[in-house]
Structure 1
Amino acid sequence: MDTEISFFRKIVTGETAFQKKIRKEILPILADLRLAILLLLVIAVFSISGTLLEQGQSLEFYQSNYPEHPALFGFLTWRVLVFIGLDHVYRTWWFLSLLVLFGSSLTACTFTRQLPTLKSARRWVYYEQPKQFKNIALSAELTTGSLTALEPLLKKRHYLVFQEGNKLYARRGIIGKIGPIIVHASMLIILAGSIIGSITGFTAQEMVPGGNIFQVKNILDAGQFSESRIPKDWAVKVNRFWIDYDPEGRIDQFYSDLSVLNQQGEEVDRKTIHVNEPLHYQGVTFYQADWGIAALRVRVNKSPVFRLPMAPLDTGGQGRIWGTWIPIKPDFSAGVSVLTRDLKGTVLVYDGKGQLVSTVREGMSTEVDGVTLFIDEVVGSTGLQIKADPGIPFVYLGFGLLMISVIMSYVSHSQIWALKEGDRLYIGGKTNRAKVTFEREIVAILDELNDREDNNSLSLGNLSENPQS
Structure 2
Amino acid sequence: MKKISQVLNWLSSLKIAILLLLLIAISCAAGTLIPQQESDQFYYDNFNKYPFLGIINGNIVLLFELDHVYTSFWFLFLLIWLGLALAVCSFRRQLPILKSAWKWIDYKSPRQIAKLSIAQSIETNNYSESLEKIKINLKKQGWNIKETDGRIAARQGVAGRLGPILIHLGMILLMIGATYGSLNGKTIEKFLAPGRSIDLLNNNEEKGLTIELQKFQIERDPQGRAEQYRSIVNVIEPNGDNQFKEISVNYPLRYKGLTLYQADWSLAAITIQIEKSPKLQIPIEPIPELGEQVWGTIIPTKKDGKDPILVTVDSEIGPVSIYNSDGTLITKLSTNKEAKVKDTLIKIINIVPSSGLLLKHDPGVPFVYTSFAIILIGGSLSIISTKKIWVLHEKEKSMIYIGGLSNRNLSGLSKELPKFIRFLEN
Distance 1:59 1:231, change over 3 A: farther
Aligned partner letter, 2:386: H
Query: Contact 2:200–2:208 (CA<8 Å) still a contact in 1?
Result: no
- Pairing partner for 1:373 from 318, 338, 346: 346
Instruction: Give the TM-score normalised by the residue count of structure 1.
Output: 0.84
SS of the residue aligned with 2:418? helix
Deviation of 1:169 (Å): 0.5
Inter-partner Cα distance in structure 2 for 1:138 and 1:41: 39
- Pairing partner for 1:311 from 265, 280, 285: 285
Task: Give per-residue Cα distances to partners, 1:98-131, cap 9 Å, x unaligned.
Answer: 1111111111111111111111111111211111
Larger Rg: 1
Instruction: Give the TM-score normalised by the residue count of structure 2.
Output: 0.93
Aligned length: 420
Correspondence for 2:307:
334
Inter-partner Cα distance in structure 2 for 1:130 and 1:407: 36
* Runs of 4+ in structure 1 over 4 Å off: 20-23, 351-354
Correspondence for 1:405:
378
Is 1:300 matched up with 2:269?
A: no
Correspondence for 1:11:
none
Distance 1:330 1:433, change over 3 A: same
Aligned partner letter, 2:292: G
Is 1:40 matched up with 2:14?
A: no
Deviation of 1:180 (Å): 0.9
Inter-partner Cα distance in structure 1 for 2:417 and 2:205: 64
Distance 1:53 1:352, change over 3 A: closer
Inter-partner Cα distance in structure 2 for 1:370 and 1:290: 38
Is 1:90 matched up with 2:106?
A: no
Correspondence for 1:465:
none
**More displaced stretch, 87-96 vs 363-372:** 363-372
Query: Contact 2:207–2:238 (CA<8 Å) still a contact in 1?
Result: no
Distance 1:414 1:322, change over 3 A: same
Inter-partner Cα distance in structure 1 for 2:346 and 2:421: 98
- Pairing partner for 1:445 from 416, 420, 424: 420
- Pairing partner for 2:57 from 71, 74, 77: 77
Aligned partner letter, 2:282: L
Deviation of 1:63 (Å): 1.7
Aligned partner letter, 1:198: S
Deviation of 1:334 (Å): 2.1
Q: Matched residues, percent identical?
A: 34
Correspondence for 1:464:
none
Aligned partner letter, 1:43: I
Inter-partner Cα distance in structure 2 for 1:230 and 1:271: 25
Distance 1:79 1:193, change over 3 A: same
Q: Unpaired runs of 5+ in structure 2?
A: none
Inter-partner Cα distance in structure 2 for 1:229 and 1:382: 28
Q: Unpaired runs of 5+ in structure 1?
A: 1-19, 218-226, 452-469
- Pairing partner for 2:82 from 102, 113, 119: 102
RMSD value over aligned CA atoms? 2.1
Task: Give per-residue Cα distances to partners, 1:10-32, cap 9 Å, x unaligned.
Answer: xxxxxxxxxx5786354333322
- Pairing partner for 2:105 from 111, 119, 125: 125
Aligned partner letter, 2:136: P
Deviation of 1:216 (Å): 5.3
Deviation of 1:352 (Å): 5.5
